[in-house]
Amino acid sequence: MLHKRAPSTDRPAPPPASIVLVGLMGAGKSAIGKRLAARLGWPFYDSDHEIEAAAGLSVAEIFARHGEPAFRAGERRVIQRLLTQGPIVLATGGGAFMDEQTRAHIRDAAISVWLRAPVPVLLERVRGRTHRPLLNQGDPAEILTRLSAQRSPVYALADIIIDCTQDPPEVTTQFVHQAVRTYDKPLSVPVRLAAADYQVLIGRDILARAGAHLAPILPQKRVIIVTDERVAALHLATLEAALRETGIHFDTLSVPPGEASKSLASWSALVESILALRPERGTAIVALGGGVIGDLAGYAAAAALRGLPFVQIPTTLLAQVDSSVGGKTGINSSHGKNLIGAFHQPLMVLADIDTLATLPARERAAGYAEIVKAGLISEPGLYEWCEANGPALLAGDTALLAEAVGRAVAFKASVVAADEREEKAENGRALLNLGHSFAHAFEAEIGYGGGLLHGEAVAIGLVCAFDLSARMHFCAPTLAPRIAAHLAQTGLPTRIPALPIERLLGHMRHDKKMRDGKLSFVLARDIGEAFTCREVPAEAVYQTLLTCGAIE
């Protein structure tokens, strides 16, 4: 979305097939559209003029003879036809974008631009116009005020919003042109499951447009936001403004930040708070925050009213590439991490790369470990890409961040689609646990929310997994040092912080991946060739822990 701000310094993206201008009468769609088309060298069309030419009647006459429903049906057909003609600039009538089918055609074929103007400006521009049937039904000021209130939440679904004032059309055209040239359409990664599909949207400025992304898929225009106090201070106002802009009603609940909130007591209190707001079955829970909030809010959504719709808005790199995708929700027990929970798939995941700029470098690095993990499991090209781009990515290169998140999410989506509920005893979704048998033991010993972030524990666990694989003669002994060197280059720990071996082994024996008394490890034959293994000698695990820093 662009609100007449300074032009972006990012490399301009090529314009799409067409540009469609929407907004109330008097917003300047035709005047700006003609100038924009001249700049681009594209044809310009006005949908009202095309309808009149096809019908041989004015818009007012069509309304009078056939009524508004017949006019909207004809308008829908005309707009659909025009958008098949290649790159054009199209100015639409004020009510065109209100039609759901018309919006779908526009969304598929064009970038939509809402020319948003205050009612006094609109009133000045339409004063004296008698060919507007809606204005002929009463006081123009009252009609425009009412139409603005009704239509603004729908116009806000447009891809770009430009605020128009009394500036001449040439000035506003410049803003529209710049906005279209620099518009970065979010990457959409589908997660295809047996029961339902959903989209993971990845890109910049997504949080500020959350209402536009969510309004078409929410069962009702009411949500309950669950966040933590730290994230709320950074991002809650942006989300609330985006929801308000599209007419989505919301309540907000906040919990203390940190892993300690993933407790049975915190979950119970959250569910009670949700129920106190009297949600209906169509009221969606929106998780705004990192993995803790996603897990906690997702499990609350799974339980309240026996299942409420759920949306993930992850604000950490770790959550964007891992925990927000796949439907795993849960809380910790005194017996281990994530032992209480449910599979509850979200309606949508909104991964805004811009929110990562507020993360401390250490937390960005922790999330990066999960991207490396994806490459090590089955995407050797992704791992090599990480070795080439990891430092620049963590330094804040937004293009590299977006690419990394997109590649990691696409990888996880493919794994989840093949094994949604981790029911395959071997391989399948279990491969996502590469390094985690070790990592969970580290976290359990140190304490959840202690001195080791989850991604840091995973980084050490990856090195351990490849050391164990080499110890069992599955892979070359050079791989663990190579992986450790890359992780260290990005600021991640690669050695166990002097934890007692026997206690780590004890935690592993209580891991939820135990089957028939045996712990399943994910090992590797090479980078990108992970597999599950249940026949792992205890002595080999012991020696790996010792080699990687644990103490006897």
Which structural domain range is residue 57 located in? 18-182
Tokens in use for 230? 């730290």
CA 171 from chain centre, in angstroms, equals 33
Phi, psi of 13 (to 5 degrees): -90, 150
Phi, psi of 221 (to 5 degrees): -85, 55
Per-residue pLDDT for the chain (552 aa), expressed as one digit of tens each?
344 333 333 444 445 579 999 999 999 999 999 999 999 999 999 999 999 998 999 888 888 899 889 999 999 999 999 999 889 999 999 999 999 999 999 999 999 999 999 999 998 888 766 556 566 667 888 889 999 999 999 999 999 999 998 889 999 999 999 999 999 889 999 999 988 899 999 999 999 999 999 999 999 999 999 999 999 999 999 999 999 999 999 999 999 999 899 999 999 999 999 999 999 999 999 999 999 999 999 999 999 999 999 999 999 999 999 999 999 999 999 887 889 999 999 999 999 999 999 999 999 999 999 999 999 999 999 999 999 999 999 998 999 999 999 999 999 999 999 999 888 867 789 899 999 999 999 998 998 666 899 999 999 999 999 999 999 999 999 999 999 999 999 999 999 999 999 999 999 987 766 666 677 899 999 999 999 998 999 999 999 999 999 999
> Is residue 37 domain-shared with residue 178, that is, in the same domain?
yes
> Is residue 274 domain-shared with residue 343, that is, in the same domain?
yes
> Is residue 428 domain-shared with residue 334, that is, in the same domain?
no
Tell me the C-alpha distance between 393 and 400, whole Å.
Answer: 5
> Is residue 163 domain-shared with residue 217, that is, in the same domain?
no
Residues 164/117, Cβ–Cβ less than 8 Å: yes
Angle at 333 between CA 417 and CA 229, to 5 degrees: 80
Residues 369/462, Cβ–Cβ less than 8 Å: yes
Tell me the C-alpha distance between 185 and 177, whole Å.
Answer: 15
Q: What is the pLDDT of residue 514?
A: 63
> Is residue 177 domain-shared with residue 193, that is, in the same domain?
no
Is 10 a member of any domain? no
Tokens 């992850």 correspond to 314
> Residue 516: helix, strand or coil by DSSP?
coil
Q: What is the CATH number of the domain that holds 136?
A: 3.40.50.300
> Is residue 244 domain-shared with residue 145, that is, in the same domain?
no
Residues 213/199, Cβ–Cβ less than 8 Å: no
Is 405 a member of any domain? no
- Domain boundary, last residue among 152, 182, 212: 182
Is 458 a member of any domain? yes
> Is residue 204 domain-shared with residue 339, that is, in the same domain?
yes
Task: Look at the chain and report how many structural domains it folds into.
Answer: 3
* Nearest residue to 214 (alpha-carbon basis) of 350, 368, 49: 350
Tell me the C-alpha distance between 181 and 2, whole Å.
Answer: 12
What is this structure's pTM? 0.89
* Nearest residue to 14 (alpha-carbon basis) of 181, 205, 156, 154: 181
* Nearest residue to 369 (alpha-carbon basis) of 253, 271, 489: 489
> Is residue 307 domain-shared with residue 272, that is, in the same domain?
yes
> Is residue 438 domain-shared with residue 532, that is, in the same domain?
yes
Count of alpha carbons within 13 angstroms of residue 104, beta-carbon side: 7
Q: Which residues pair with 222 in a beta bridge?
A: 249
Is 377 a member of any domain? no
The CA-atom distances, in angstroms, between 402 and each of 15, 325, 347, 381 are 20, 16, 21, 17
Q: What is the CATH number of the domain that holds 296?
A: 3.40.50.1970
Is 13 a member of any domain? no
Residues 307/336, Cβ–Cβ less than 8 Å: no
Q: What is the CATH number of the domain that holds 487?
A: 1.20.1090.10
Tokens in use for 345? 């798939």
> Is residue 152 domain-shared with residue 267, that is, in the same domain?
no
DSSP assignment of 5-49, as one string? Answer: -PPP-SPPPPP-SEEEEE-STTS-HHHHHHHHHHHHT--EEEHHH
> Is residue 165 domain-shared with residue 292, that is, in the same domain?
no
Helix axes 479-489, 361-378, angle to 10 degrees: 150
- Domain boundary, last residue among 182, 209, 237: 182
Written in H, E and C, the secondary structure of 84-151 is CCCCCEEECCCCHHHCHHHHHHHHHHEEEEEEECCHHHHHHHHCCCCCCHHHHHCCHHHHHHHHHHHH
- Domain boundary, last residue among 182, 217, 251: 182
The CA-atom distances, in angstroms, between 545 and each of 447, 452, 513, 537, 552 are 18, 17, 19, 13, 9
Is 11 a member of any domain? no
Tokens 């088309």 correspond to 37
> Is residue 195 domain-shared with residue 343, that is, in the same domain?
yes
Is 371 a member of any domain? no
